[in-house]
Amino acid sequence: MTGVERDPQEILSEVFGYSEFRGEQEAIIRHVVAGGDAVVLMPTGGGKSLCYQIPAIAREGTGIVLSPLVALMHDQVMALRLAGVRAAALNSSLAPEERRAVEADYLNGELDVLYLAPEQLAVPGTVEFLKRGRVALFAIDEAHCVSQWGHDFRPDYLRLGGLATEWPDVPRIALTATATPETHREITERLFLGNARHFVSSFDRANIRYQIVPKQNVRAQLLAFIRGEHQGEAGIVYALSRKRVEQTAAALRDAGIDAVAYHAGLPADVRLDAQTRFLREDGVVVVATIAFGMGIDKPDVRFVAHIDLPKSVEGYYQETGRAGRDGAPSEAWLAYGLADVVQQRQFIDSGDGDQATRANQTRHLDHMLALCESVTCRRRYLLNYFGQFDAPENCGNCDVCLDPPRLWDATIPAQMLLSTVIRTQNERGRTYAAGQHIDVLRGVGSDRVSQMRLDELSTWGIGTDWSVAQWRGVVRHLVAVGLLEARGEWGVLWPSEAAKPVLRGEEQVLMREEVISRATSSRSSGGGSKRSAAAADLSAEQAEVFDRLRAWRAVEAKEQGVPGYVVFGDATLAALAVHQPTTDEGLLAISGIGQVKLERYGEAVLRVLAAE
């Protein structure tokens, strides 16, 4: 183990304040410390950061962390500095004198960790500059960005394969929380990690409850969801368009929810203010496009809601994974309807990609639709998608498992709908969007119906036994399973080849009944509380201590210009409230308090605990 200065266990305890490693952390860390390359697939909240931070501290030289998350580097650096780690970042936000100071610290061997954006390596002189110092390791965070067929491809990542040539003797560790087996292979090949050791953890986020509901009045549905289960708690709401983001944030504010908007079209200072408020204040809800969130290290996000359909299962998993990083009960909520399918198909058809790109995007969307329409465990579907096939059939923490859907044989209405679509094509020379076909089936007349002689079709009025909502559910299901296609801007319906066996009665169509969910929340459905989920099981006396600690933390964090969790996470505050230590030794026994934080905050914490 040439070049090793400190033992990983010692660093874990003294610097980060944890008594033991989690999962495969120790094996990964010791492998990299010994000079080995590694590919790490680990879910959000699984402790990926320590897998490169501890080796960077343990080995001689500076650990170079390549991350696309420039906007978050400041908080990442501050969190390490508060733990006593010599950390810095080089990015475009630095003033010239700040940049020179960081460069000098690196060249003088005075940094343990240096953050860089991947695009920095393309800047003339960067590689030469790094070679003038001593590199302990390269950590490639968000490594799935190298996948050209993935959901978040970034061309700058392709350049990172050159690290193997420029620094053949420096260990490299590539990490991601989102990778199918196909993406895993791409990471290995494109980053030239063929000799790396692979560490694949379970992708199961057991503390997250998954819920997917039919979209009706989505704004009212969202408000009811937040008020009913997450009042006063931090959350992220994702929407596809900037306009929808701003309208939804305004509607939530009007309803008394502390909500901010975030999208790439807002001025930089407005985006920064929204991100800062979300990270550093309690109970803020951010409504955002997917431009927000990658690398967000806020542990107490209690929910992630999607009011528009995500483009892929990978994107959905990554975005929902931003909830519950502290391990406390959290929720992933998605409202989805036929209009979402039409919109996503239109994005694909009108995009700039070639035929192969569009086919790949369609495949991603089809998998997402299959998840939404699934009548089996959501968690099992997700884990199977990522190549993990050992999940139980019932997870006990998704809408399907908590409230198993009643299935009904929708073969006859499916045949009615398919026949109507085919007859409008064959007998009237055109087809229509879902609403017009539903009107035909339910016998609803109009001037347009008369003009097009749709009331003369043999399927006119044969579907009056089913409501409009039920028929929309049938349309949505048939589109999701590929029996119908929704084409163009208006989502006109076309039958696929796969519809023929259904029309001939050779295949059955089973659908879930659209009923109001009977599932009860695992958390309070009352007015909610601003107290963290980490403190849910505290006694009244302990809860009072927890609230005092939180108030102290808020002041401390504001003075230092960092998020509260950088000082101490809620789990650490809850442990302090339970054990209420009275000595420095007692504080060191609390998970999350290391030697540096003891020296920095110990005296103040003991005063708060003593209610002085």
Place of tokens 């296609």: 485
In this predicted structure, the answer to whether residue 289 has a pLDDT above a threshold of 70 is yes
In this predicted structure, the answer to whether residue 530 has a pLDDT above a threshold of 60 is no
Residue 137 is inside which H or E element, if any? Answer: strand 135-140
In this predicted structure, the answer to whether residue 516 has a pLDDT above a threshold of 90 is no
Which of 200, 231, 266 represents a domain boundary (last residue)? 200
Q: Are 191 and 247 found together in one domain? A: no
- Per-residue pLDDT of 8-30, as tens digits, reads 999 999 999 998 999 899 999 99
Q: What pLDDT sits at residue 583? A: 93
Residue 517 lies in a domain: no
Partner residues linked to 330 by β-bridges? 208
Higher pLDDT, residue 528 or 580: 580
Number of domains in the chain: 4
Q: Are 17 and 149 found together in one domain? A: yes
Q: Could you list the residue range(s) of the whole structural domain that residue 325 is in? A: 208-336+374-404
Show contacts of 26-34: CB within 8 Å, 24+ apart: 27/199, 28/173, 28/199, 29/54, 29/55, 29/58, 31/197, 32/137, 32/171, 32/173, 33/1, 33/4, 33/8, 33/58, 33/59, 34/1, 34/4
Q: What pLDDT sits at residue 514? A: 61
Percent helix, strand, coil in the chain, to 5, is 50, 15, 40
Q: What pLDDT sits at residue 346? A: 81
Residue 526 lies in a domain: no
Q: Side-chain half-sphere of 595: how many Cα atoms within 13 Å?
A: 8
Mean pLDDT for the stretch of residues 416-428: 88
Residue 480 lies in a domain: yes
Higher pLDDT, residue 123 or 151: 123
| CATH number reported for the structural domain that contains residue 568 in this entry | 1.10.150.80
Of 119-128, 330-339, 558-567, 570-579, least confident by mean pLDDT is 558-567
In this predicted structure, the answer to whether residue 531 has a pLDDT above a threshold of 70 is no
Mean pLDDT for the stretch of residues 160-188: 92
Residue 556 lies in a domain: yes
Q: Are 447 and 378 found together in one domain? A: no
Q: Are 455 and 587 found together in one domain? A: no
Q: Are 231 and 380 found together in one domain? A: yes
CA-to-CA distance for 509 and 410, rounded, in angstroms?
5
Q: Are 308 and 258 found together in one domain? A: yes
Question: Considering all CA atoms of the chain, what is the largest pairwise distance in Å, rounded to the nearest integer?
Answer: 87
| CATH number reported for the structural domain that contains residue 262 in this entry | 3.40.50.300
Q: What pLDDT sits at residue 408? A: 81
Q: Are 157 and 245 found together in one domain? A: no
Higher pLDDT, residue 116 or 526: 116
Q: Are 104 and 178 found together in one domain? A: yes
Q: What pLDDT sits at residue 256? A: 95
Residue 308 lies in a domain: yes
Residue 597 lies in a domain: yes
Task: Give the confidence band of 378 by pLDDT, cuts at 50, 70, 90.
Answer: very high
Average pLDDT, the chain: 87
Task: Give the confidence band of 488 by pLDDT, cuts at 50, 70, 90.
Answer: low
| CATH number reported for the structural domain that contains residue 459 in this entry | 1.10.10.10
Please, are residues 11 and 54 in contact by the beta-carbon 8 Å criterion? yes
- Per-residue pLDDT of 57-75, as tens digits, reads 999 999 999 988 776 788 8
Task: Give the confidence band of 535 by pLDDT, cuts at 50, 70, 90.
Answer: low
Mean pLDDT for the stretch of residues 294-322: 90
Q: Are 222 and 135 found together in one domain? A: no
Higher pLDDT, residue 512 or 478: 478
Q: What pLDDT sits at residue 50? A: 96
Which of 138, 172, 200 represents a domain boundary (last residue)? 200
Q: Are 232 and 193 found together in one domain? A: no
Share of the chain above pLDDT 70, in %: 94
What's the DSSP call for residue 59? B
Residue 528 lies in a domain: no
Q: Are 181 and 195 found together in one domain? A: yes
Q: Are 441 and 488 found together in one domain? A: yes
Mean pLDDT for the stretch of residues 188-198: 94
In this predicted structure, the answer to whether residue 522 has a pLDDT above a threshold of 60 is no
Q: Which of 88-102, 160-174, 383-397 is the most confident on average?
A: 160-174
Q: What pLDDT sits at residue 465? A: 84
Measure the CA angle with vertex 192, ends 186 and 195; round to 5°. Answer: 105
Residue 260 lies in a domain: yes
Which of 170, 200, 230 represents a domain boundary (last residue)? 200
